[in-house]
Amino acid sequence: MTPVQSVLCYLLTSFFLFLVRVKQGFPIEDLAVRFKVSPSTVSRVFLTWANFLYFMLGQIPIWPTKVQVKANLPDCFKLTYPNTCVILDCTEIKVQTLSSKVLLARFAHAAQVYEEGQADLDIIASLLTEADRNFPCQYVDLNAGASYSGGPGRPRMEISREQLEYLVENDISIPDIAQVLGVSVSTVKKRLREFGISSTESKTPISDTELDAAVQGIQQMFPNPGYRRVQSQLFLNGIKVAQRRVRETMHR
């Protein structure tokens, strides 16, 4: 067996070990016996493939744009459900009727909990509808490419206006933008100046008193919300403020 064939055989075997672990859920000790390796080797192989697949497959966009969805809608959907964006597939399983009074009481309690949660489900459905109107499906490539001029010095990092506008509009800080694009903070600031994009002018001018009242209204509608939930609801209401102000308001 040549060195290349040996490496290929190891990769295929280790990937098969990873698939067996994910599909069958065999313990590490069991796989160590099956593949004739140590438990630490099984753990290392599993983590290596898991991290590799996460970085390789995690960059693939799973949500197509609205234009792509409408272009591929079946004819029956185009006539009856032209605005379909996502289909949630559910499975119905038939079960036998309960005869025990204890089980019936538990089932009745579960049904009551479901009915009480129906109002929350209706709120979630309305929020999804509102989000679909305010957040159109889109995919923005956040990879910064390098442009080589042929002269001395480091290559220029190509960052588009679309990338910066998308990140700024989603309230991403400049240091976080630099980390996402894989460039320095100074490069991000320079590109923002070149495109004339401000990271602060998109915020809604609102006083602390008005913001407190808006947050209190959200807290009455959604008991014990987190600051991210509050900020998202504020955005749906047309109020865009920094996370710092939302935190300060919720702690006042």
The SS3 of residue 146 is strand
Are 127 and 150 found together in one domain?
A: no
Residue-level pLDDT at 62: 74
Asked whether residue 42 falls in the same domain as residue 7, the answer is: yes
Do 38 and 71 lie in a common domain? no
Mean pLDDT computed over every residue of the chain: 75
203 within domain boundaries: no
Whether residue 95 lies inside any domain: the answer is no
Q: Strand pairing partners for 240?
A: none
Predicted TM-score (pTM) of this structure: 0.31
Collapsing DSSP states into helix, strand and coil, what is residue 93?
coil
Asked whether the CA dihedral 220, 225, 229, 230 is positive or negative, the reply is: positive
* Listed residues 93, 118, 136: the one ending a domain: 136
**Alpha-helix residue ranges (DSSP H) falling in 170-207:** 174-181, 185-195
DSSP E strands: which ranges in 52-144?
A: none
Report yes or no on 94 lying in a domain. no
Domain of residue 216: give its range: 208-250
Give a yes or no: residue 202 inside a domain.
Answer: no
Same domain, 48 and 7: yes
189 and 149 together in one domain:
yes
Give 222-232 pLDDT, tens digit per residue: 777 776 778 77
| 169 inside domain | yes
Q: Is residue 122 in a domain? A: yes
Which residues make Cβ contacts (< 8 Å) with residue 20, sequence separation at least 6?
A: 26, 31, 34
Residue numbers of the chain with a pLDDT score lower than 70: 1-8, 95-155, 169-171, 199-202, 227
Q: How many CB atoms lie within 10 A of CB 183?
A: 17
Written as one letter, the residue type at 211 is L
Residue 187 in any domain: the answer is yes
Contact between residue 187 and residue 155 where contact means Cβ atoms under 8 Å apart? no
Task: Kindly state whether residues 188 and 164 are assigned to the same domain.
Answer: yes
Q: Do 12 and 47 have their domain in common?
A: yes
Shared domain for 153 and 185, answered yes or no, is: yes
Q: Provide the number of structural domains found in the chain.
A: 4
H or E stretch covering 157: strand 156-158
The pLDDT tens digits for 182-225 are 788 888 888 888 888 776 656 777 888 888 888 888 888 877 77
Domain presence at residue 218? yes
